[in-house]
Chain A
Amino acid sequence: MIELIDVNFFINQKQILKDINLKIQKGEFAAIVGPNGSGKTTLLNIIAGILKPTSGKVLIFGKSELSAEDRRKISYVPQKVTSFNQSFPMSVLEAVLLGLSPKKRFFESFSEQDLKKAVEILKRLEIENLKDRLIGHLSGGQQQRVFLARALISSPEILILDEPTVGIDSKSEELLFDILGQKKKEGTTILMVTHDVYAVTHHADTIICMGDGMIYTACSTKDFSPSKFESVYKYRIKKIEHKHSYIPKKDLT
Protein backbone atom coordinates (compact mmCIF):
# COMPACT_ATOMS: atom_id res chain seq x y z
CA MET A 1 0.00 0.00 0.00
CA ILE A 2 2.77 2.47 1.03
CA GLU A 3 6.42 1.80 0.20
CA LEU A 4 9.46 4.03 0.52
CA ILE A 5 12.71 2.98 -1.14
CA ASP A 6 16.00 4.72 -0.26
CA VAL A 7 14.29 8.04 0.34
CA ASN A 8 16.51 11.04 1.10
CA PHE A 9 15.38 14.61 1.65
CA PHE A 10 17.47 17.78 1.81
CA ILE A 11 16.61 21.40 2.59
CA ASN A 12 19.37 23.88 1.64
CA GLN A 13 22.13 21.22 1.73
CA LYS A 14 20.92 19.97 5.11
CA GLN A 15 19.86 16.35 5.11
CA ILE A 16 16.52 15.95 6.86
CA LEU A 17 15.80 12.31 5.94
CA LYS A 18 18.46 9.65 5.40
CA ASP A 19 17.97 6.42 3.44
CA ILE A 20 14.40 5.74 4.51
CA ASN A 21 13.09 2.30 3.61
CA LEU A 22 9.62 1.47 4.77
CA LYS A 23 6.68 -0.73 3.85
CA ILE A 24 3.17 -0.35 5.24
CA GLN A 25 0.57 -2.94 4.28
CA LYS A 26 -3.10 -2.36 3.51
CA GLY A 27 -5.14 -2.17 6.71
CA GLU A 28 -2.07 -1.60 8.87
CA PHE A 29 -2.00 1.06 11.60
CA ALA A 30 1.52 2.48 11.71
CA ALA A 31 2.61 5.12 14.21
CA ILE A 32 5.69 7.29 13.70
CA VAL A 33 7.28 8.40 16.96
CA GLY A 34 10.49 10.21 17.82
CA PRO A 35 11.81 13.36 19.43
CA ASN A 36 11.31 16.85 17.97
CA GLY A 37 13.37 17.42 14.84
CA SER A 38 13.73 13.71 14.13
CA GLY A 39 12.05 14.03 10.72
CA LYS A 40 8.63 12.54 11.56
CA THR A 41 6.50 15.26 9.99
CA THR A 42 8.81 15.53 6.97
CA LEU A 43 8.40 11.80 6.39
CA LEU A 44 4.63 12.13 6.75
CA ASN A 45 4.56 15.05 4.31
CA ILE A 46 6.57 13.08 1.77
CA ILE A 47 4.15 10.15 2.01
CA ALA A 48 1.21 12.58 1.77
CA GLY A 49 2.69 14.09 -1.41
CA ILE A 50 3.11 17.55 0.14
CA LEU A 51 6.91 17.30 -0.24
CA LYS A 52 8.92 15.54 -2.94
CA PRO A 53 11.93 13.45 -1.92
CA THR A 54 15.34 14.64 -3.13
CA SER A 55 16.12 11.05 -4.08
CA GLY A 56 14.51 7.64 -3.76
CA LYS A 57 11.06 6.33 -4.54
CA VAL A 58 7.69 6.69 -2.83
CA LEU A 59 5.12 4.16 -3.99
CA ILE A 60 1.49 4.56 -2.95
CA PHE A 61 -1.00 1.99 -4.29
CA GLY A 62 2.08 0.66 -6.14
CA LYS A 63 2.50 3.90 -8.12
CA SER A 64 5.12 6.62 -7.91
CA GLU A 65 2.93 9.22 -9.65
CA LEU A 66 -0.59 9.42 -8.27
CA SER A 67 -3.53 10.62 -10.32
CA ALA A 68 -6.14 12.95 -8.82
CA GLU A 69 -8.41 9.90 -8.55
CA ASP A 70 -5.79 8.04 -6.49
CA ARG A 71 -5.32 11.07 -4.26
CA ARG A 72 -9.05 11.18 -3.52
CA LYS A 73 -8.56 7.89 -1.66
CA ILE A 74 -6.24 9.64 0.80
CA SER A 75 -7.38 11.82 3.71
CA TYR A 76 -5.21 14.02 5.88
CA VAL A 77 -5.79 15.28 9.40
CA PRO A 78 -3.38 18.17 9.99
CA GLN A 79 -2.07 19.58 13.23
CA LYS A 80 -5.00 21.83 14.15
CA VAL A 81 -2.98 24.76 15.41
CA THR A 82 -0.88 25.22 12.30
CA SER A 83 -3.48 24.79 9.61
CA PHE A 84 -6.54 26.67 10.61
CA ASN A 85 -7.68 30.28 10.67
CA GLN A 86 -9.82 30.51 13.83
CA SER A 87 -11.98 33.37 12.52
CA PHE A 88 -12.95 31.53 9.33
CA PRO A 89 -16.73 31.92 8.86
CA MET A 90 -17.59 28.26 8.42
CA SER A 91 -20.03 26.01 10.26
CA VAL A 92 -19.00 22.59 11.55
CA LEU A 93 -21.28 20.91 8.99
CA GLU A 94 -19.71 22.86 6.10
CA ALA A 95 -16.22 21.95 7.36
CA VAL A 96 -17.07 18.23 7.43
CA LEU A 97 -18.61 18.32 3.95
CA LEU A 98 -15.36 19.78 2.57
CA GLY A 99 -13.97 16.25 2.83
CA LEU A 100 -16.23 15.29 -0.08
CA SER A 101 -15.32 18.26 -2.29
CA PRO A 102 -12.37 16.55 -4.08
CA LYS A 103 -14.90 14.02 -5.42
CA LYS A 104 -17.35 16.66 -6.63
CA ARG A 105 -17.49 17.57 -10.30
CA PHE A 106 -17.84 21.08 -11.78
CA PHE A 107 -21.09 22.62 -10.45
CA GLU A 108 -21.92 19.49 -8.43
CA SER A 109 -23.21 20.45 -5.00
CA PHE A 110 -23.64 18.34 -1.87
CA SER A 111 -26.61 15.95 -1.96
CA GLU A 112 -29.08 15.09 0.79
CA GLN A 113 -27.18 11.82 1.17
CA ASP A 114 -23.94 13.75 1.74
CA LEU A 115 -25.61 15.84 4.44
CA LYS A 116 -26.99 12.69 6.07
CA LYS A 117 -23.55 11.08 6.03
CA ALA A 118 -21.95 14.18 7.58
CA VAL A 119 -24.51 14.23 10.38
CA GLU A 120 -24.00 10.48 10.99
CA ILE A 121 -20.24 10.94 11.35
CA LEU A 122 -20.73 13.91 13.66
CA LYS A 123 -23.07 11.76 15.73
CA ARG A 124 -20.44 8.98 15.85
CA LEU A 125 -17.91 11.55 17.07
CA GLU A 126 -20.44 12.85 19.62
CA ILE A 127 -20.52 16.41 18.26
CA GLU A 128 -23.76 16.34 16.26
CA ASN A 129 -25.17 19.10 18.48
CA LEU A 130 -22.40 21.43 17.28
CA LYS A 131 -23.12 21.09 13.55
CA ASP A 132 -24.37 24.68 13.11
CA ARG A 133 -21.72 26.30 15.30
CA LEU A 134 -18.79 28.25 13.86
CA ILE A 135 -15.77 25.96 13.82
CA GLY A 136 -13.57 28.68 15.35
CA HIS A 137 -15.85 28.80 18.39
CA LEU A 138 -15.18 25.18 19.37
CA SER A 139 -12.65 23.90 21.86
CA GLY A 140 -9.40 22.29 20.65
CA GLY A 141 -10.69 18.76 21.22
CA GLN A 142 -13.96 19.46 19.42
CA GLN A 143 -12.11 21.00 16.47
CA GLN A 144 -9.90 17.93 16.28
CA ARG A 145 -13.02 15.76 16.05
CA VAL A 146 -14.34 17.96 13.23
CA PHE A 147 -11.08 17.49 11.31
CA LEU A 148 -11.32 13.75 11.84
CA ALA A 149 -14.94 13.77 10.65
CA ARG A 150 -13.87 15.67 7.53
CA ALA A 151 -11.18 13.06 6.84
CA LEU A 152 -13.53 10.13 7.40
CA ILE A 153 -16.52 11.32 5.35
CA SER A 154 -14.83 10.35 2.06
CA SER A 155 -14.20 6.78 3.33
CA PRO A 156 -10.47 6.98 2.54
CA GLU A 157 -8.25 3.97 1.87
CA ILE A 158 -5.31 5.77 3.50
CA LEU A 159 -5.74 8.01 6.53
CA ILE A 160 -2.80 10.24 7.48
CA LEU A 161 -2.82 12.02 10.84
CA ASP A 162 -0.26 14.56 12.06
CA GLU A 163 -0.17 14.62 15.87
CA PRO A 164 -3.92 14.34 16.32
CA THR A 165 -3.73 13.91 20.10
CA VAL A 166 -1.99 17.22 20.84
CA GLY A 167 -4.10 19.38 23.15
CA ILE A 168 -7.08 17.05 23.44
CA ASP A 169 -8.52 15.54 26.61
CA SER A 170 -8.44 11.84 27.45
CA LYS A 171 -12.08 11.32 26.46
CA SER A 172 -11.47 12.76 22.98
CA GLU A 173 -8.31 10.66 22.69
CA GLU A 174 -10.16 7.51 23.65
CA LEU A 175 -12.84 8.26 21.08
CA LEU A 176 -10.19 8.98 18.42
CA PHE A 177 -8.44 5.62 18.91
CA ASP A 178 -11.77 3.82 19.13
CA ILE A 179 -12.73 5.16 15.70
CA LEU A 180 -9.28 4.53 14.22
CA GLY A 181 -9.52 0.93 15.46
CA GLN A 182 -12.85 0.55 13.70
CA LYS A 183 -11.50 2.04 10.45
CA LYS A 184 -8.52 -0.33 10.63
CA LYS A 185 -10.90 -3.29 10.87
CA GLU A 186 -12.66 -1.97 7.75
CA GLY A 187 -9.33 -2.09 5.89
CA THR A 188 -8.21 1.54 6.11
CA THR A 189 -4.44 2.01 6.24
CA ILE A 190 -3.58 4.44 9.01
CA LEU A 191 -0.38 6.41 9.35
CA MET A 192 0.00 8.68 12.35
CA VAL A 193 2.74 10.92 13.70
CA THR A 194 2.52 11.24 17.45
CA HIS A 195 4.40 11.88 20.67
CA ASP A 196 1.88 9.75 22.52
CA VAL A 197 3.90 6.54 22.88
CA TYR A 198 1.52 5.31 25.58
CA ALA A 199 -1.43 5.33 23.21
CA VAL A 200 0.27 3.83 20.16
CA THR A 201 1.62 0.83 22.05
CA HIS A 202 -2.02 0.00 22.69
CA HIS A 203 -3.61 0.79 19.38
CA ALA A 204 -1.09 0.68 16.51
CA ASP A 205 0.18 -2.43 14.72
CA THR A 206 3.61 -1.00 13.98
CA ILE A 207 5.77 1.58 15.70
CA ILE A 208 8.29 3.42 13.55
CA CYS A 209 10.81 5.14 15.76
CA MET A 210 12.74 8.01 14.16
CA GLY A 211 15.80 9.94 15.22
CA ASP A 212 18.21 12.24 13.33
CA GLY A 213 16.28 11.76 10.09
CA MET A 214 16.60 7.98 10.15
CA ILE A 215 14.38 5.09 11.08
CA TYR A 216 16.03 3.67 14.19
CA THR A 217 13.60 0.86 14.59
CA ALA A 218 10.35 -0.28 13.05
CA CYS A 219 8.66 -3.09 14.89
CA SER A 220 5.26 -4.47 15.74
CA THR A 221 3.78 -3.31 19.04
CA LYS A 222 4.01 -6.93 20.21
CA ASP A 223 7.80 -6.82 19.83
CA PHE A 224 8.06 -3.39 21.36
CA SER A 225 10.38 -2.89 24.29
CA PRO A 226 11.42 0.38 25.99
CA SER A 227 15.09 -0.22 25.20
CA LYS A 228 14.32 0.27 21.49
CA PHE A 229 13.48 3.89 22.23
CA GLU A 230 16.35 4.77 24.50
CA SER A 231 18.94 5.41 21.83
CA VAL A 232 16.54 7.71 19.98
CA TYR A 233 15.17 9.70 22.88
CA LYS A 234 18.66 9.75 24.45
CA TYR A 235 17.41 9.00 27.93
CA ARG A 236 16.38 5.89 29.79
CA ILE A 237 12.81 4.71 29.35
CA LYS A 238 10.95 3.29 32.31
CA LYS A 239 8.27 0.69 32.08
CA ILE A 240 5.28 1.84 34.10
CA GLU A 241 3.01 -0.95 35.31
CA HIS A 242 -0.29 0.71 34.58
CA LYS A 243 -2.85 -0.71 32.19
CA HIS A 244 0.00 -2.74 30.63
CA SER A 245 1.35 0.43 29.09
CA TYR A 246 4.78 1.93 28.54
CA ILE A 247 5.35 5.62 29.05
CA PRO A 248 8.72 7.19 28.23
CA LYS A 249 9.92 8.82 31.43
CA LYS A 250 13.12 10.70 31.81
CA ASP A 251 15.30 8.91 34.29
CA LEU A 252 16.49 11.59 36.69
CA THR A 253 18.58 9.28 38.82
Chain B
Amino acid sequence: MLQYEFMQRALIAGILVSIMTSLIGNFLVLKRFSQIGDSLSHTAIVGVAAALLLNFSPTVGAVLATVVFSLLLEYFKTRFKRFEEISLALVSITALGIAAVLFGVLKSSANLMSYLFGSIVTIGNEDVLVTLAIAIVTVVFLTGFKNQLLYTTFDEMSAKVSGINTRLLDFILNILSAVIIAVSLKIVGGLLISSLIVFPTAIAMRFSKNFKMLQITSLLISLISIISGLSLSYYVDVPPGGATVLIFVVIFLLYEAISKVLKKPKTNSK
Protein backbone atom coordinates (compact mmCIF):
# COMPACT_ATOMS: atom_id res chain seq x y z
CA MET B 1 0.00 0.00 0.00
CA LEU B 2 2.99 2.33 0.48
CA GLN B 3 3.54 2.59 -3.27
CA TYR B 4 0.56 4.93 -3.45
CA GLU B 5 1.21 8.56 -2.68
CA PHE B 6 -2.18 9.06 -1.03
CA MET B 7 -1.34 6.27 1.44
CA GLN B 8 2.06 7.78 2.18
CA ARG B 9 0.37 11.08 2.91
CA ALA B 10 -2.33 9.41 5.01
CA LEU B 11 0.27 7.53 7.08
CA ILE B 12 2.45 10.60 7.68
CA ALA B 13 -0.57 12.71 8.65
CA GLY B 14 -1.93 9.84 10.76
CA ILE B 15 1.31 9.46 12.69
CA LEU B 16 1.45 13.23 13.31
CA VAL B 17 -2.18 13.25 14.46
CA SER B 18 -1.59 10.33 16.84
CA ILE B 19 1.44 12.07 18.39
CA MET B 20 -0.56 15.29 18.95
CA THR B 21 -3.73 13.67 20.24
CA SER B 22 -2.03 11.22 22.60
CA LEU B 23 0.20 13.94 24.11
CA ILE B 24 -2.63 16.42 24.66
CA GLY B 25 -4.97 13.58 25.65
CA ASN B 26 -2.72 12.78 28.65
CA PHE B 27 -3.51 16.18 30.15
CA LEU B 28 -7.15 16.46 29.04
CA VAL B 29 -8.13 13.03 30.36
CA LEU B 30 -6.32 13.55 33.68
CA LYS B 31 -8.00 16.95 34.05
CA ARG B 32 -11.29 15.04 33.59
CA PHE B 33 -11.88 17.15 30.53
CA SER B 34 -11.82 14.39 27.95
CA GLN B 35 -15.25 15.34 26.60
CA ILE B 36 -13.70 18.47 25.10
CA GLY B 37 -12.77 16.34 22.09
CA ASP B 38 -16.40 15.50 21.44
CA SER B 39 -17.65 19.04 21.96
CA LEU B 40 -15.02 20.72 19.80
CA SER B 41 -15.29 18.12 17.04
CA HIS B 42 -18.96 19.06 16.71
CA THR B 43 -17.91 22.68 16.32
CA ALA B 44 -15.34 21.64 13.71
CA ILE B 45 -18.15 20.07 11.68
CA VAL B 46 -19.96 23.43 11.80
CA GLY B 47 -16.81 25.06 10.37
CA VAL B 48 -16.56 22.46 7.60
CA ALA B 49 -20.24 22.80 6.69
CA ALA B 50 -19.95 26.60 6.63
CA ALA B 51 -16.82 26.42 4.47
CA LEU B 52 -18.48 24.05 1.99
CA LEU B 53 -21.45 26.37 1.85
CA LEU B 54 -19.39 29.53 1.38
CA ASN B 55 -16.81 27.80 -0.85
CA PHE B 56 -13.56 28.14 1.08
CA SER B 57 -11.09 25.63 2.61
CA PRO B 58 -12.94 23.27 5.00
CA THR B 59 -9.77 22.91 7.12
CA VAL B 60 -9.62 26.69 7.58
CA GLY B 61 -13.34 26.67 8.40
CA ALA B 62 -12.82 23.92 10.98
CA VAL B 63 -9.89 25.76 12.61
CA LEU B 64 -11.83 29.04 12.78
CA ALA B 65 -14.96 27.39 14.19
CA THR B 66 -13.12 25.35 16.85
CA VAL B 67 -11.08 28.34 18.00
CA VAL B 68 -14.18 30.56 18.24
CA PHE B 69 -16.12 27.87 20.12
CA SER B 70 -13.18 27.12 22.43
CA LEU B 71 -13.20 30.82 23.40
CA LEU B 72 -16.93 30.47 24.04
CA LEU B 73 -16.12 27.40 26.14
CA GLU B 74 -13.67 29.44 28.22
CA TYR B 75 -16.44 31.99 28.81
CA PHE B 76 -18.96 29.31 29.84
CA LYS B 77 -16.34 27.82 32.19
CA THR B 78 -16.17 31.10 34.09
CA ARG B 79 -19.99 31.15 34.33
CA PHE B 80 -20.27 27.54 35.56
CA LYS B 81 -17.33 27.10 37.92
CA ARG B 82 -17.05 23.56 39.32
CA PHE B 83 -19.56 22.37 36.68
CA GLU B 84 -17.32 22.36 33.63
CA GLU B 85 -19.27 19.55 31.98
CA ILE B 86 -22.18 22.01 31.60
CA SER B 87 -20.02 24.32 29.50
CA LEU B 88 -18.97 21.37 27.31
CA ALA B 89 -22.60 20.33 26.85
CA LEU B 90 -23.64 23.90 25.99
CA VAL B 91 -20.93 24.23 23.33
CA SER B 92 -21.71 20.80 21.93
CA ILE B 93 -25.46 21.40 21.70
CA THR B 94 -25.03 24.88 20.19
CA ALA B 95 -22.65 23.50 17.55
CA LEU B 96 -24.96 20.59 16.69
CA GLY B 97 -27.86 23.01 16.35
CA ILE B 98 -25.94 25.19 13.89
CA ALA B 99 -24.63 22.10 12.07
CA ALA B 100 -28.17 20.75 11.65
CA VAL B 101 -29.27 24.03 10.04
CA LEU B 102 -26.24 24.08 7.72
CA PHE B 103 -26.82 20.43 6.76
CA GLY B 104 -30.31 21.41 5.71
CA VAL B 105 -29.03 24.26 3.52
CA LEU B 106 -26.23 22.18 1.92
CA LYS B 107 -27.47 20.42 -1.22
CA SER B 108 -24.83 17.65 -1.30
CA SER B 109 -23.46 16.08 1.86
CA ALA B 110 -21.01 13.68 0.13
CA ASN B 111 -17.95 15.81 0.93
CA LEU B 112 -19.19 16.39 4.43
CA MET B 113 -19.31 12.64 5.12
CA SER B 114 -15.52 12.36 4.71
CA TYR B 115 -15.15 14.96 7.49
CA LEU B 116 -17.53 13.06 9.74
CA PHE B 117 -15.85 9.65 9.50
CA GLY B 118 -12.47 10.39 7.89
CA SER B 119 -11.14 9.54 4.44
CA ILE B 120 -7.63 8.53 3.40
CA VAL B 121 -7.98 9.53 -0.24
CA THR B 122 -8.76 13.19 0.40
CA ILE B 123 -5.54 14.06 2.27
CA GLY B 124 -3.39 16.38 0.16
CA ASN B 125 0.19 17.66 0.50
CA GLU B 126 -1.13 20.90 1.97
CA ASP B 127 -2.97 18.95 4.69
CA VAL B 128 0.23 17.09 5.59
CA LEU B 129 2.18 20.35 5.86
CA VAL B 130 -0.49 22.03 8.03
CA THR B 131 -0.62 18.93 10.28
CA LEU B 132 3.18 18.93 10.56
CA ALA B 133 3.22 22.60 11.58
CA ILE B 134 0.56 22.07 14.26
CA ALA B 135 2.33 18.91 15.46
CA ILE B 136 5.57 20.87 15.95
CA VAL B 137 3.74 23.60 17.91
CA THR B 138 1.99 20.95 20.03
CA VAL B 139 5.15 19.00 20.86
CA VAL B 140 7.09 22.20 21.67
CA PHE B 141 4.35 23.55 23.97
CA LEU B 142 3.54 20.29 25.74
CA THR B 143 7.20 19.32 26.19
CA GLY B 144 8.44 22.79 27.08
CA PHE B 145 5.79 23.35 29.75
CA LYS B 146 5.41 19.70 30.74
CA ASN B 147 6.21 20.20 34.43
CA GLN B 148 3.98 23.25 34.83
CA LEU B 149 1.13 21.55 32.94
CA LEU B 150 1.50 18.44 35.05
CA TYR B 151 1.41 20.45 38.28
CA THR B 152 -1.68 22.33 37.07
CA THR B 153 -3.35 19.07 36.06
CA PHE B 154 -2.55 17.31 39.32
CA ASP B 155 -3.28 20.10 41.79
CA GLU B 156 -4.38 23.34 40.18
CA MET B 157 -4.78 25.26 43.43
CA SER B 158 -1.27 24.56 44.74
CA ALA B 159 0.20 25.29 41.31
CA LYS B 160 -1.60 28.66 41.23
CA VAL B 161 -0.46 29.60 44.75
CA SER B 162 3.16 28.87 43.78
CA GLY B 163 3.10 31.21 40.80
CA ILE B 164 2.11 29.05 37.82
CA ASN B 165 -0.25 30.89 35.47
CA THR B 166 -2.79 28.07 35.44
CA ARG B 167 -5.42 30.10 33.60
CA LEU B 168 -3.08 30.91 30.71
CA LEU B 169 -1.91 27.29 30.45
CA ASP B 170 -5.54 26.09 30.41
CA PHE B 171 -6.40 28.66 27.76
CA ILE B 172 -3.53 27.59 25.49
CA LEU B 173 -4.39 23.92 26.08
CA ASN B 174 -7.98 24.60 24.97
CA ILE B 175 -6.99 26.53 21.84
CA LEU B 176 -4.43 23.87 20.95
CA SER B 177 -7.04 21.13 21.43
CA ALA B 178 -9.34 23.03 19.08
CA VAL B 179 -6.70 23.36 16.37
CA ILE B 180 -5.59 19.70 16.71
CA ILE B 181 -9.18 18.52 16.35
CA ALA B 182 -9.68 20.72 13.29
CA VAL B 183 -6.59 19.44 11.45
CA SER B 184 -7.31 15.82 12.37
CA LEU B 185 -10.79 15.83 10.84
CA LYS B 186 -9.81 14.41 7.45
CA ILE B 187 -7.98 11.43 8.96
CA VAL B 188 -10.28 10.26 11.72
CA GLY B 189 -13.43 12.26 11.15
CA GLY B 190 -15.21 14.70 13.42
CA LEU B 191 -17.39 12.11 15.10
CA LEU B 192 -14.49 9.88 16.14
CA ILE B 193 -11.59 12.27 16.84
CA SER B 194 -12.24 12.20 20.59
CA SER B 195 -11.38 8.47 20.56
CA LEU B 196 -7.77 9.42 19.71
CA ILE B 197 -7.70 11.79 22.67
CA VAL B 198 -9.34 9.49 25.21
CA PHE B 199 -8.50 5.86 24.37
CA PRO B 200 -4.66 5.88 24.50
CA THR B 201 -4.56 7.59 27.92
CA ALA B 202 -7.49 5.54 29.25
CA ILE B 203 -5.75 2.26 28.33
CA ALA B 204 -2.26 3.38 29.47
CA MET B 205 -3.65 4.60 32.81
CA ARG B 206 -4.60 1.01 33.65
CA PHE B 207 -0.98 -0.06 34.04
CA SER B 208 1.28 3.05 34.15
CA LYS B 209 3.35 3.43 37.30
CA ASN B 210 4.23 7.06 36.63
CA PHE B 211 3.45 9.93 34.26
CA LYS B 212 6.49 9.31 32.05
CA MET B 213 5.36 5.73 31.48
CA LEU B 214 1.85 7.00 30.71
CA GLN B 215 3.19 9.36 28.05
CA ILE B 216 5.29 6.69 26.33
CA THR B 217 2.76 3.87 26.40
CA SER B 218 -0.20 6.02 25.35
CA LEU B 219 1.85 7.29 22.40
CA LEU B 220 2.73 3.72 21.38
CA ILE B 221 -0.91 2.61 21.69
CA SER B 222 -2.00 5.59 19.59
CA LEU B 223 0.62 4.93 16.88
CA ILE B 224 -0.20 1.21 16.67
CA SER B 225 -3.92 1.94 16.45
CA ILE B 226 -3.77 4.63 13.79
CA ILE B 227 -1.31 2.73 11.58
CA SER B 228 -3.44 -0.42 11.90
CA GLY B 229 -6.62 1.59 11.35
CA LEU B 230 -5.28 3.22 8.18
CA SER B 231 -4.04 -0.15 6.87
CA LEU B 232 -7.42 -1.70 7.58
CA SER B 233 -9.08 1.22 5.84
CA TYR B 234 -6.92 0.61 2.76
CA TYR B 235 -7.34 -3.18 2.56
CA VAL B 236 -10.99 -3.51 3.63
CA ASP B 237 -12.18 -0.15 2.29
CA VAL B 238 -13.78 1.17 5.47
CA PRO B 239 -13.52 4.71 6.92
CA PRO B 240 -10.16 5.11 8.79
CA GLY B 241 -11.83 6.71 11.84
CA GLY B 242 -14.08 3.76 12.47
CA ALA B 243 -11.27 1.25 11.86
CA THR B 244 -8.98 3.06 14.33
CA VAL B 245 -11.66 3.13 17.02
CA LEU B 246 -12.21 -0.62 16.59
CA ILE B 247 -8.46 -1.24 17.00
CA PHE B 248 -8.56 0.80 20.25
CA VAL B 249 -11.47 -1.28 21.49
CA VAL B 250 -9.62 -4.53 20.64
CA ILE B 251 -6.46 -3.34 22.51
CA PHE B 252 -8.56 -2.29 25.50
CA LEU B 253 -10.42 -5.60 25.66
CA LEU B 254 -7.20 -7.58 25.14
CA TYR B 255 -5.54 -5.72 28.02
CA GLU B 256 -8.54 -6.31 30.28
CA ALA B 257 -8.62 -10.02 29.42
CA ILE B 258 -4.87 -10.53 29.88
CA SER B 259 -4.77 -8.57 33.16
CA LYS B 260 -7.71 -10.62 34.48
CA VAL B 261 -5.90 -13.87 33.65
CA LEU B 262 -2.61 -12.70 35.15
CA LYS B 263 -4.17 -11.00 38.17
CA LYS B 264 -2.89 -12.33 41.48
CA PRO B 265 -5.25 -12.70 44.45
CA LYS B 266 -5.85 -9.28 46.03
CA THR B 267 -3.95 -8.42 49.18
CA ASN B 268 -4.24 -5.36 51.35
CA SER B 269 -0.98 -3.65 50.49
CA LYS B 270 -1.72 -0.31 52.16
A binds B: yes
Residues of A bordering B, CB below 8 Å: 48-50, 68-72, 74-78, 83-85, 87-91, 93-95, 97-102, 104, 106-107, 109-110, 132, 134, 137-139, 150-151, 154, 160
Q: Is the CB of A49 within 8 A of B161?
A: yes
Q: How far is the CB of B85 from chain A (nearest CB, A)?
A: 15
- Provide the residues of chain A in CB contact with B155, threshold 8 Å: 78, 83-84, 98
A interface SS class: mixed
Q: Is the CB of B161 within 8 A of A104?
A: no
> Which chain B residue has the least Cβ–Cβ distance from A79?
B157
Q: Is the CB of A139 within 8 A of B162?
A: no
Q: Is the CB of B163 within 8 A of A70?
A: yes
Q: Given the known inter-chain contacts A50-B157, A78-B157, A90-B154, please indicate yes or no for A69 contacting B163, CB distance below 8 A.
A: yes
Q: Is the CB of B151 within 8 A of A107?
A: no
Q: Is the CB of A74 within 8 A of B210?
A: no
CA–CA, A90 and B211, complex, Å: 5
Q: Is the CB of B211 within 8 A of A89?
A: yes
**19 pairs, CB–CB < 8 Å, chain A vs chain B:** A49-B161, A68-B165, A69-B163, A71-B161, A72-B162, A74-B162, A75-B162, A76-B158, A83-B157, A85-B32, A89-B205, A89-B209, A89-B214, A98-B159, A101-B159, A104-B147, A107-B144, A110-B147, A137-B270
Q: Is the CB of B148 within 8 A of A102?
A: yes
Q: How far is the CB of B35 from chain A (nearest CB, A)?
A: 16
- Provide the residues of chain A in CB contact with B210, threshold 8 Å: 89-91, 93-94, 132, 134
Within 8 A of A (CB), among B138-156: 143-145, 147-148, 150-151, 154-155
> Which chain B residue has the least Cβ–Cβ distance from A158?
B161
Top 3 closest pairs, chain A to chain B, by CB: A71-B163, A101-B147, A91-B210
> Which chain A residue has the least Cβ–Cβ distance from B152?
A101
Q: How far is the CB of B79 from chain A (nearest CB, A)?
A: 14
- Provide the residues of chain B in CB contact with A154, threshold 8 Å: 162
Q: Given the known inter-chain contacts A68-B165, A90-B211, A94-B211, please indicate yes or no for A102 contacting B159, CB distance below 8 A.
A: yes
CA–CA, A84 and B155, complex, Å: 7
Whether, in the assembled complex, B269 has its beta carbon less than 8 Å from a beta carbon of chain A, the answer is yes
Q: Is the CB of A98 within 8 A of B151?
A: yes
Residues of B bordering A, CB below 8 Å: 30, 32, 143-145, 147-148, 150-151, 154-155, 157-165, 204-205, 208-214, 269-270
- Provide the residues of chain B in CB contact with A104, threshold 8 Å: 147-148
Q: Is the CB of A49 within 8 A of B209?
A: no
CA–CA, A102 and B270, complex, Å: 31
- Residue of B150, B154, B212, B214 with most partner-chain A CB within 10 A: B154
CA–CA, A75 and B158, complex, Å: 7
Q: Given the known inter-chain contacts A98-B147, A101-B151, please indicate yes or no for A74 contacting B161, CB distance below 8 A.
A: yes
- Residue of B143, B155, B158 with most partner-chain A CB within 10 A: B158
CA–CA, A150 and B155, complex, Å: 11
| 20 additional A-B residue pairs with CB within 8 Å, beyond A85-B30, A134-B210, A137-B269 | A70-B163, A71-B163, A72-B162, A74-B162, A74-B163, A75-B158, A78-B157, A89-B211, A89-B213, A90-B150, A90-B211, A91-B211, A98-B147, A98-B155, A98-B159, A101-B159, A107-B143, A107-B144, A139-B270, A160-B161
Q: Is the CB of B209 within 8 A of A78?
A: no
CA–CA, A106 and B141, complex, Å: 9
Tell me which of A68, A95, A102 contacts B154 (CB under 8 A).
A95
- Provide the residues of chain A in CB contact with B163, threshold 8 Å: 68-72, 74, 102
CA–CA, A104 and B143, complex, Å: 13
Q: Is the CB of A88 within 8 A of B30?
A: yes
Q: Is the CB of A75 within 8 A of B161?
A: yes
CA–CA, A75 and B145, complex, Å: 20
